[in-house]
Amino acid sequence: MEAKLMLLPGDGIGPEVVAQAVRVLEAVAGKGGHTFSYAEGLLGGCSLDRYGASLTDETLADCQAAEAILMGAVGGPKWDDPGASDRPERGLLALRRGLKVFANLRPVRVHPELVEWSPVKPDRLRGVDILVIRELTGGLYFGWPKGREIKDGRERAVDTLEYYDYEIRRVVELAFRLARGRRGKVTSVDKANVLESSRLWRQITTEIGGLNPDVSLEHMLVDTASMRLVSAPAQIDVLVTENMFGDILTDEASVLAGSMGLLPSASLGAEGPGLYEPIHGSAPDIAGQGIANPVGTILSVAMLLRHSLGLESEADWVELAVDAALAANCRTVDLGGKLSTPQMTDEILARLE
């Protein structure tokens, strides 16, 4: 097949790990008889520096015309001014909005060879294979009104937690579809004992659960879920939740794997290109040293192949090659090894071939 892909290397270590992911894409293309073409744009701090905007209209249009987008992390201390009119993270939010992606998928799987790198006890990590699905378009990040004002001589800040029924329905329906191809269990996380938006979330999720009797459903309050993720994570299959809860819980779940450098993500909509990126940050402290872990970005390539291009076998190739490299004790410095970013990719490519 032929596919046009958009690259947004981003800031910090982003260009380093995205470059290695492209090497994997090219190896997959050669092995599978595919042709991938690439366009490249700026997003985040690098775009602010060049264009004065974290995301330009031209870059967004190029992304909308692609079949999938692979990106690195954005941001860093250079642009870390909360009062700035534009910040790298705003570009990412605008990109998600422009692509109409509403679900962020973060798989968390514990490699047996890396159990010692997790702060969680090894006996809790056996069989951990979780897919966290975070809603991306609603909640506190986008609700209105928001802002600050002086009221009765006091400064007051307001954020609004807002959800429409369709926003909840589409992400929960996706969770049930994906659970059907896994272990057949959905854990819906809310705060229905306090929040009206969570009561609507639970109501709609219960309705969808009734229409999908082949998939088991459990409701869990977010405080309980935060404990369950570290005390009994193997009990969770697909976890679906709203925007801010998902933002927090996915970072908590990442420690199970031992390093944030290992974990991929995908942001998907009902149609149009998907957005793929590792979950780690831009790590400006190690940028340019060639020691960043490329695995999270390479596994994001596997998700791109599977979800946007429909290349299930090719996605399996990449994931099996990563597993084989880790099983052979191939490690970057974040996992106690000595391999550089390109060397780690070399080891994965050798096993892909």
The number of helices, as runs of H, and strands, as runs of E, in the chain is: 12, 12
User: Please, what is the average pLDDT of the chain?
Assistant: 96
Taking 90 as the threshold, does the pLDDT of residue 216 lie above it? yes
CA distance 130 to 185: 11
Ordered by where they begin, the domains of the chain are 1-105+264-353 (3.40.718.10), 119-257 (3.40.718.10)
Q: CA angle at residue 26 from 316 to 340, to 5 degrees?
A: 85
The radius of gyration computed from the CA coordinates of the chain, to the nearest angstrom, equals: 20
Dihedrals phi, psi of 119, to nearest 5 degrees: -75, -10
Task: Identify whether 247 is a catalytic site residue.
Answer: yes
Active-site residue flag, 80: no
CA 71 to chain CA centroid, Å, is: 11
Active site (annotated) includes residue 223: yes
Question: Does residue 286 have a pLDDT over 90?
Answer: yes
Catalytic residue, chosen from 81, 251, 285, 316, is: 251
- Gap between the Cα atoms of 40 and 331, Å rounded: 29
Average pLDDT on 257-268 reads: 94
Binning pLDDT at 50, 70 and 90, where does residue 81 land?
confident
Cβ pair 290, 342 in contact under 8 A: yes
Active-site hit among 62, 141, 159, 185: 141
Query: Look-up: residue for tokens 């807002």?
Result: 162
Task: Report the first-to-last Cα separation within the chain, whole angstroms.
Answer: 19
Residue 120's pLDDT is 93
Cβ atoms of residues 12 and 284 within 8 Å: yes
Q: What is the pLDDT of residue 6?
A: 98
pLDDT at 82: 79
pLDDT digits (tens, 9 = 90+) for 148-195: 999 999 999 999 999 999 999 999 999 999 999 999 999 999 999 999
Checking phi first, is residue 303 left (phi over 0); if not, alpha (psi -120 to 50) or beta?
alpha
Which of 57, 223, 285, 316 does the annotation list as catalytic?
Answer: 223
Q: Indicate the pLDDT class of residue 353, thresholds 50, 70 and 90.
A: confident
- The catalytic residue among 129, 159, 247, 346 is 247
**Tokens matching residue 259:** 């390093």
| Bridge partners (DSSP) listed for residue 221 | 190
For the residues 84-108, what does the mean pLDDT come to? 94
Detail the DSSP E strand segments found in the chain: 2-8, 35-40, 68-71, 101-109, 129-135, 147-151, 154-158, 185-190, 216-221, 238-241, 264-269, 274-278
146 tagged catalytic: no
Are 263 and 302 within 8 A, CB to CB? no
* Active-site residue, 78 included: no
pLDDT at residue 341, rounded to an integer? 98
Q: How far apart are CA 6 and CA 332, in angstroms?
A: 27
What's the Cα-to-Cα distance from 252 to each of 50, 119, 318, 330, 341, rounded to whole Å? 34, 11, 26, 25, 25
Mean pLDDT of 316-323: 97
Angular region, 52: left φ>0, alpha ψ -120 to 50, beta rest: left
Residues 191, 237, 276, 334: which is the catalytic one?
A: 191
β-sheet with 216-221: strand ranges across = 35-40, 2-8, 68-71, 274-278, 264-269, 101-109, 129-135, 238-241, 185-190, 216-221
Least confident of 52-61, 205-214, 248-257: 248-257
